Structure 1
Amino acid sequence: MTSDQDPLAVLGRSPYVSLTTFRRNGTGVATPVWAASDGAELYVWTKADSWKVKRIRNDGRVVVTACDARGRVSDGAPSAEGTARLLGADGLRKARGLLARKYTWQFWLTDVPAAIVRLGKRPHVGIAISLRHPSRPA
């Protein structure tokens, strides 16, 4: 499998990914997010009280698909199943650093004003996603 076919490499380069998390009844809920890859995982940064965080606490199963800013998925877009885990403070710093490096000024334009407005009242959490690699054809 070449790096161009590796789901982590492809999804890590995508400007946005649709992160599908699952309700208790098994219904998937997709949300477009920024994601950056490092090593064998994708990293996402979100508000700690978001519904996706609550769903991940209940069920770490996720599906990640390349999408546009509105979450629209094109036919044939790369997609992979995986497992998400919530990160502590060190993991959050790592996720923010990776996202800041990938999205540069866009990240800072979003992060700094939001931090000023919320005055620490809505903390964020990092999410690490380990993707399952599809089996190679025989």
Structure 2
Amino acid sequence: MAITDETYVLLTTFRKSGEGVGTPVWIVALPDGSAGFTTEADSGKVKRIRNNPKVTLQPCDMRGRVREGSEIVDATAEVLIGPDALPVRDAIRRKHSVFTKFMAVGAFFRGLVKKPDPAECAIRMTFG
């Protein structure tokens, strides 16, 4: 089973000190063999990826609990903004259609009571 067949993976990004920071994310396969996910442009993981593009991925559950005995996959990440992020967003909508509809409804209602969410970007990861 490929890492992109998973629903959730633990993405580990690295601080300037070298300390790893794990975050569970939805992952999708992209046509060119890479993988991606979306996140807020001002998130900590985006800042860490801009500083150090080396990341690791490992299958996990939605809370970030790693599957025992699962393989750690090394990857190189890049931040995609604007039109470059669209293929990742579209792939997520296809793979996780039910969940993204619930999230869109939640975002609508949150927008009624507070300021809009920060801009979204995508992260593309290549392997090897």
SS in 1 for 2:3: helix
Partner AA of 1:80 in structure 2: V
Name the CA distance, whole Å, in 2 between partners of 1:115 and 1:61.
34
Gaps of 5+ in 1: 5-9, 133-138
Q: Please tell me whether residue 125 in structure 1 is matched to residue 121 in structure 2.
A: yes
Partner of 1:57: 50
Give 1:47's match in structure 2, choosing from 21, 40, 47. Answer: 40
Name the CA distance, whole Å, in 2 between partners of 1:37 and 1:116.
30
Gaps of 5+ in 2: none
Partner of 2:19: 27
Q: How many residues align?
A: 124
RMSD over aligned CA atoms reads 1.6
TM-score of the superposition, structure 1-length normalised?
Answer: 0.83
Partner of 1:15: 7
SS in 2 for 1:40: coil
Name the CA distance, whole Å, in 2 between partners of 1:26 and 1:75.
24
User: Which whole-Å deviations, capped at 9, do the CAs of 1:35-87 have from their partners, x for residues lacking one?
Assistant: 10112211110011110001011110100111111101122213210100001
Name the CA distance, whole Å, in 1 between partners of 2:41 and 2:104.
14
